[in-house]
Amino acid sequence: MNGLALRHMRTLFRIEWKLFNRIRANYVFAVAVPLMLLVAMRSVQEQMDLAAHGVDAGPLMVSTSAGILLIFTLYSSVTGLYVARREELVLKRLRTGEVSDPVILAGGASMYVALTVAQIAVVAVVLSVMFGAAPRQPLSAVAGLVTGVALMTAMAAATAALCRSVESVMVATLPAIFVLPLASGVYIPREVLPDALGDVLVYAPLSPTVDLIRSGWTGQLSAAEVPARIVLDAVWAALFAWVAFRRFRWEPRT
């Protein structure tokens, strides 16, 4: 990325940050709601016999929190952002200048990316202290976070391409909000599921991210499995990016 693109990214970040801070209710959705969901999921996981399946509660909570925050703070928010800026003709005006399409989308999402990464980092530190769990494969966790951010941003662009209006965002994001956490081991670890089902769900979107982040604390993935999970995440991200490239609309439907 050249210097001009970086300047555009910084400018778009500052604009979105100012707009975000104008509406204090944004903090309720982007901060309080995911954290309340995390507390609720902790209560659910306490009802499971995790020890019998060889699952450590500390690393599991770290990967659970990361998955929840990636879906709610990043994916859901960025999908709404893209659609809102399209309806306001902001995206159309940006395209008339020298800003490239990828920079427009990345710059618009950059504020929520920073917020999500900060949330995950803080929660991971707190949970590590609470459960006395030190990272064993920190690079695996970093790789999971990077690929997760790329995947959720690409998925947000693809979902926004299917939305006709801001009002339709809530409906369009429902499948990912409800189905994706269940399929990727965010709410229920795959170890407690039947083996056949768990083996299939390894290939679900966001499953590689969850595995990589949890392995950052458990070291469960081998040297060969870590790159495999990264590639799988990259394939899903590329697929959603391709859908966005083919279907994304830069101005409202007439």
How would you write the chain as a 3-class SS string?
Answer: CCHHHHHHHHHHHHHHHHHHHHCCHHHHHHHHHHHHHHHHHHHHHHCCCCHHHCCCHHHHHHHHHHHHHHHHHHHHHHHHHHHHHHHCCHHHHHHCCCCCHHHHHHHHHHHHHHHHHHHHHHHHHHHHHHHCCCCCCHHHHHHHHHHHHHHHHHHHHHHHHHCCCHHHHHHHHHHHHHHHHHHCCCCCCHHHCCHHHHHHHCCCCCHHHHHHHHHHHHCCCCCCHHHHHHHHHHHHHHHHHHHHHHHCCCCCCC
pLDDT in the model for residue 244? 92
| Contact of 109 with 156, CB cutoff 8 Å | yes
pLDDT digits (tens, 9 = 90+) for 162-182: 888 888 888 889 888 889 988
Query: Is the pLDDT at 53 greater than 60, yes or no?
Result: no
Length of the chain measured in residues:
254
Contacts for 2 with CB less than 8 Å, ≥ 6 apart:
none
Most confident region among 88-92, 133-137, 206-210 by mean pLDDT? 206-210
| 128 — pLDDT class (breaks 50, 70, 90) | confident
pLDDT value, residue 173 = 92
Q: Please give the mean pLDDT across all residues of the chain.
A: 86
pLDDT tier at 132, thresholds 50, 70, 90: confident
One-letter amino acid identity for 69?
L
Find the angle CA(60)-CA(238)-CA(65) to the nearest 5 degrees: 20
**Other CB atoms within 10 Å distance of the CB of residue 242:** 12
Rounded Cα distance, 150 and 236, in Å: 10
Give the residue carrying structure tokens 């979902």.
Answer: 159
pLDDT at 1 over 70: no
CA atoms within 13 A on the CB side of 193: 17
Instruction: Name the pLDDT band for 238 (thresholds 50, 70, 90).
Output: very high
Supply the pLDDT for residue 149: 96
The pLDDT of residue 151 is 96
Contact 140, 63 (CB under 8 A): no
232 pLDDT tier (thresholds 50, 70, 90)? very high
Q: Once rounded to an integer, what is the mean pLDDT over residues 37-62?
A: 70
Question: Cβ–Cβ contacts within 10 Å for residue 228, how many?
Answer: 14
What mean pLDDT comes out for the span 68-97? 90
Q: Select the more confidently predicted residue: 236 or 91.
A: 236
> Picking from 43-47, 68-72, 121-125, 234-238, which range would have the lowest pLDDT averaged per residue?
43-47
For residue 48, the model assigns a pLDDT of: 64
Mean pLDDT within 134-159? 94
pLDDT digits (tens, 9 = 90+) for 4-34: 778 888 888 998 898 888 887 877 777 777 7
User: What tokens appear for 27 in the block?
Assistant: 């903090």
Kindly state the average pLDDT of the residues 81-93: 91
Mean pLDDT calculated for residue range 209-238: 93
